[in-house]
Amino acid sequence: MKQAIFRFIYYKILGWKAEVSVPDFNKCIICAAPHTTNWDLFIGKLFIGAIGRESGFMMKKEWFFFPMGCIFRKMGGIPVHRNKHTSLVEQIVQKIKKSEKFHLAITPEGTRSANPEWKKGFYYIALGAGIPIVLIGIDYAKKCISAKKYLMPSGDIEEDMREIKNYFKEFTGKHPERFALGEI
């Protein structure tokens, strides 16, 4: 029933499309880009629900105020304290290892502004847990979200990040000027 509601809103009301060819892994990190607007979260959650999957997400702690914090946590949100140096990567790796199913979406830019220096925490989480990184591209120009590629982190972060960034070249964010791939 829940999937039918997500499908109706995503496809019929909003008119978005989905292209999905990656397997539904029991455990994965979802690298979603471009992230140029707050609407990405809601469109992304509708997409995930419409294709019959689930995912948590990471978001800066400032968004977890009452009552929004309750809503975001219910949706699978994990608050991130960006000004503190914590062992968040290792904590999530341990949580993944203890879980039967685990899907977590992370936006590598770490902001809705153009940031050519992508955060690499998503990569280190997947590497540490030995799970794939599913690449999900949000394309506002085509009103389509695509999940057509995944990769297992090899440990060669420079090469893997080059491959990841190359995948996202074809996608247009809601505000294209706020998306930067940086050096590839």
How do residues 28-48 score in pLDDT, each as one tens digit?
A: 999 999 999 989 989 999 999
pLDDT band at 114 (very low <50, low <70, confident <90, very high): confident
Under 8 Å between Cβ of 40 and 138: yes
Long-range contacts of 57-62 (CB under 8 A, 24+ apart): 57/104, 57/105, 57/106, 58/104, 58/105, 58/106
CA–CA separation, 117 and 3 (whole Å): 36
For all residues of the chain together, what is the average pLDDT? 89
pLDDT at 110 over 90: no
Q: Which long-range contacts (CB under 8 A, 24 or more apart) does 78-87 make?
A: 78/104, 82/110
157 within a domain of the structure (yes/no): yes
What does each C-alpha distance from 134 to 19, 122, 126, 181 come to in angstroms? 13, 11, 10, 18
The answer to whether residue 84 is domain-embedded is yes
Q: Does residue 183 lie within any of the structural domains?
A: no
Domain count within the chain: 1
Structural domain contains residue 184: no
Q: Given this model, what pLDDT does residue 109 score?
A: 85
Q: Is residue 136 part of a domain?
A: yes
What global pTM score does this model have? 0.86
Indicate whether 165 belongs to any domain. Answer: yes
Torsion of CA 76, 133, 106, 126, to 10 degrees: 80
Residue 8, domain member (yes or no): yes
Question: Is position 19 within any domain?
Answer: yes
pLDDT for residue 65 is more than 80: no
Q: Is the pLDDT of residue 94 over 80?
A: yes
Lowest average pLDDT, out of 9-13, 15-19, 56-60, 97-101, goes to 56-60
Mean pLDDT score, 55-79: 69
The domain of 38 spans 2-178
Q: Mean of the pLDDT values across residues 9-21?
A: 97
Joined together, the tokens standing for residue 112 give: 């809705």
Confidence of residue 67 (pLDDT cuts 50, 70, 90): confident
3 touches 50 (CB < 8 A)? yes
Cα distance between residue 136 and residue 167, in whole Å = 9
